[in-house]
Amino acid sequence: MTTLDRVKRVVGEVMRVPDGTLEITARIEDLGESDSLTLAEIATSLDMEFGIRVPSEDMVDARSVGDLAALVERLLRTADSPPAS
């Protein structure tokens, strides 16, 4: 499973979007009912999925699922430890 697929799954679970329906261009704020804690929830789920710490300032800049996947890949490259598989 690619990073993008895993990010899609994480975002889909947090936003309660049916499996397989998320596009790479999907904007987080357009997915279901988001509120001020949605970003923090997604960040926490990404932390757990990939074994990294996603900083808030990077999350705020990531507007779409594709942006999030790119962010995770960048964090994985710079992380000291290998990603969880």
For residue 37, state whether it binds other proteins (rule: CB under 8 A): yes
Per CB under 8 A, the list member of 25, 56, 74, 79 interacting with other proteins is 56
- Taking CB under 8 A as the criterion, the residue among 2, 16, 20, 35 binding other proteins is 35
Please report whether residue 30 would count as binding other proteins according to CB under 8 A.
no
| Shortest spacing between CB 71 and other proteins, in angstroms | 13
For 24-32, the CB contacts below 8 A with 24+ separation are 24/64, 24/65, 24/66, 24/69, 25/64, 25/65, 25/66, 26/64, 26/65, 27/63, 27/64, 28/62, 28/63, 28/64, 28/65, 28/68, 29/63
Give yes or no for residue 22 binding other proteins (CB under 8 A). Answer: no
